[in-house]
Structure 1
Amino acid sequence: MLTVYTTAPSCDGVSGSRFRRLAVDAARWTEAAGYRGLLVYTDNTLVDPWQVAQLMIEHTESIVPLVAVQPLFRHPFDVARAVSSLGFQYGRQVDLNLVTGGFARHMYELGDTLDHDGRYLRLLEYGRIIGQLLAGRPALTHQGEFYDLKTARLTIPLPGDLTPRTYLSGSSEACIEAARLLGAARLFYPRFIADYAQAPDVLRGNGIRLGIIARESTEQAWRVAHGRFPDDQLGEQLHDLAADAVESAWHRKLSAEAQRSSAPREGYWLYPFRAYKTFCPYLVGSYQEVAQLFGRYLRLGISALILDVPHDEDDLHHAGRALRLAERAHLVS
């Protein structure tokens, strides 16, 4: 069964009141579409994701925020307490996307000197502590390389049915090992489907993040796509500058591919990423075309999909039609 999330909007370039409206709208659209929840991502420049998660919970009935959690921003005890506090106050679940941080400048600003693999070792310890605290142990004593806790416990326990689903973002060997040890799924920004011919099991049991622009006809879909993401040379230059400052393995690989060619490949389109408008590839085409292409990812065993930030409520309606076609065809096959 495929789990679908959308993505919360960014606060970049908008007022606080405008951002609140955008976030609440996206949450309500997601709930109306029947999807599980929304990814709330994080970095040094964005609104605190836990505040966004609480805002969305207060304005919906059932959606589950997928909160990006970075060890430099919160102690693992504080993350566990935030999860249990939201469960206590609202009876609602929160999922976790454990991230190491991607931009070298952001790590420098926070005085983080760990290398790439070291940050995943810290993330592994971080995730284990959060999981142990949320499991309701009477007290946790932990002396590790990065954290030291002495008989720490949550006084507000989390009901078992609200235990978070946990994801790790990344594709490096260090990420693979951390996810394995935590029992977590990984999140990918997927390459074109044919690129998995030599490694068909890479995506099995994991999630991918994609934008989808689907319409009745191919021409309608591409008209929307080009209107939303026109040629942007400044955006391309900004992307290239940012790519040089990123240590993330997936970002470097996808950037290299986008710089070689961002022309569509059977509806798989990297130009929005190339123009620095988003951080994921897009699938563009008629409902049937998108369903056929997405169905190939389903056959590789993906378990979760994170859709890009919805432009409007119709975006989720159109994407949903293509996804349902793909899922029905997958079940029949």
Structure 2
Amino acid sequence: MKAHTFGDAVEVFATSPQSAESTTDAYLKEVIEIAQWSEQEGCTGTLVYTDNRLADPWLVAQIILQNTKTLCPLVAVQPLYMHPYAVAKMVSTLAFLHGRRVYLNMVAGGFAYDLKTLKDTTPHDKRYDRLREYTHIIKALLSGGAVTFQGEYYAVDNLRLTPVLPPELFPGIFLSGSSEAGLDCCRALGATAIKYPKAPNEEMNALDGLEKAGIRIGVIARPEEDVAWNVAYKRFPEDRKGQLAHQLTMKVSDSLWHKQLSDLAESTTVDRNPYWLVPFQNYKTFCPYLVGGYETVAREIARYIGAGYRSFILDIPPDKEELRHTGVAFQQAWAMAEKG
């Protein structure tokens, strides 16, 4: 995924590993390696998760910036963890120290247990109302000048941000677009709406009043179909324990995307369907996968591009070689999309 292949037309993000699944030394090494692989293969950036179990994403973003030259950390932002002024300060300070841009992945909710321990009982749709205020303040501060705002959840009075953020380093802002509340929030903020997509042939119009849209998806592509599926079955075998964990999560979650994917999983069980949800059903990852030969996967990606998606967030890459194979599929997909 060399940068010149996509230009400004398509953004491709990898994902950083999770600290809860590693030791300190191994985690640092893996974060740096994946960031460097992602940069070398032409990714725009890499997603850094946040939840109660994980290392602080801003400190991880700092590690990424120190070990790359152009890669943009896509930092997950949970409003329960910090005031919007602190988020804006992080963005402007990283720009001041490194001359680099970051992206923000605004999180409305989280795991049910995390919200419970933080004593947050805000209903699903109201969390998006809160996130709208939160993100509005961040954007206003980063745009410069004094900010005064009075909302239901947040208020500031004549608040100014320093260091001042150069306009060319203003962050890209991503937000879940899997529910109507999320989509309304995206439209109000001009944010990129990120979805866990349906099968490509079911995605007709990604924008629907939105400025920008993207998807979260895994890819396993190889020159031959059989090789790709052998890799997929080996990496994500059936796991009864994982299936039970998935079922438990379904019972306690109010996440609409989780329920939507679970419903889709029941209708995409045909053997070797390139839209593959077995990793999701076995609690190994939280996104669909596209699996197959380069041409097969490229055709599916091209359909997403044709539907209007321009941002793609990949799953955590197991190695640099996987990113290279994914890049080949994306290059072919873009060529297909240009030809219509």
Provide TM-score, normalisation by structure 1.
0.96
Cα separation, 1, equivalents of 2:82 and 2:195 = 24
Quote the Cα distance in structure 1 between the aligned partners of 2:91 and 2:229.
41
2:140 is equivalent to residue 125 of structure 1: no
Name the CA distance, whole Å, in 2 between partners of 1:15 and 1:157: 37
Aligned to 1:112: 120
User: Which of residues 230, 244, 260 in structure 2 aligns to 1:223?
Assistant: 230
Out of 147, 158, 168, the position equivalent to 1:161 is 168
**2:60 corresponds to which residue?**
52
CA distance in 2 between partners of 1:53 and 1:128 (Å): 22
Note if 1:171 corresponds to 2:171: no
Task: Tell me the amino acid that sits aligned with residue 328 of structure 1.
Answer: A
Cα distance change of structure 1 residues 205 and 170 upon mapping to structure 2, 3 Å threshold: closer
2:260 to 253, 258, 264: 253
- Whole-angstrom CA distance in 2 between matches of 1:264 and 1:129: 48
The aligned counterpart of 2:32 is 24
CA contact (8 A) 1:206 1:302 kept: yes
After TM superposition, the structure 1 stretch with the greater mean CA deviation from structure 2, 250-259 or 74-83, is 250-259
> What are the superposed Cα offsets for residues 99-132 of structure 1, whole Å, 9 maximum, x if unpaired?
1123222111101121011100000000000000
CA deviation map 1:210-245 (0-9, x unaligned): 111011100000111011001111111111111222
1:11 aligns with 2:22: no
Of the three residues 256, 268, 293, the one matched with 1:286 is: 293
Cα pair 2:177 2:186 within 8 Å, conserved: no
CA distance in 1, matches of 2:98, 2:298: 36
Give the distance between the partners of 1:320 and 1:264, measured in 2 at CA: 25
> In the superposition, relative to structure 1, how do residues 261 and 240 fare at CA in structure 2: closer, same or farther (>3 Å)?
farther
- One of 194, 198, 204 as aligned partner of 1:191: 198
Aligned partners of 1:31 and 1:37 also within 8 Å:
yes
Q: Distance in 1 between matches of 2:184 and 2:29?
A: 39
Structure 1 residue aligned with 2:327: 320
> Cα distance, 1:294 vs. partner?
1.2
What secondary structure, in the 3-state scheme, does the structure 2 residue paired with 1:44 have? Answer: coil
Q: Aligned residue for 2:249?
A: 242
Q: Quote the offset at 1:149 in angstroms.
A: 1.3
Distance 1:327 1:287 in 2: 12
Cα distance change on mapping 1:200 and 1:96 into 2, 3 Å: closer
Runs of 4+ in structure 1 over 4 Å off = 199-204, 259-265
Offset from partner CA, 1:274-314 (integer Å, 9 cap, x none): 10000100011011111111111111011110111101000
SS in 2 for 1:166: strand
CA distance in 2: counterparts of 1:307 and 1:234, whole angstroms? 25
**1:12 aligned counterpart, secondary structure:** helix
Distance in 2 between the 1:183 and 1:204 partners? Answer: 6
Q: Distance in 1 between matches of 2:94 and 2:106?
A: 18
> Cα RMSD between the aligned structures?
1.5
* Cα distance, 1:196 vs structure 2: 3.0
- 1:128-139 to structure 2, matched below 5 A, reads 128-137=136-145, 139=146
Conserved 8 A contact 1:263-1:271: no
Match status 1:141 vs 2:148:
yes
Question: 1:124–1:182: 8 Å Cα contact kept in structure 2?
Answer: yes
The counterpart of 2:159, out of the listed 152, 167, 175, is 152
**1:42: which partner in 2?**
50
SS, match of residue 110 in structure 2: coil
Residue 160 of structure 1 deviates from its aligned partner by 0.5
Residue aligning to 1:302: 309
Q: Is the 8 A contact 2:179 2:256 kept in 1?
A: yes
Count of matched residue pairs: 331
Per-residue deviation, residues 231-260 of structure 1 (Å, max 9, x unmatched)? 111111111111222111111111232256
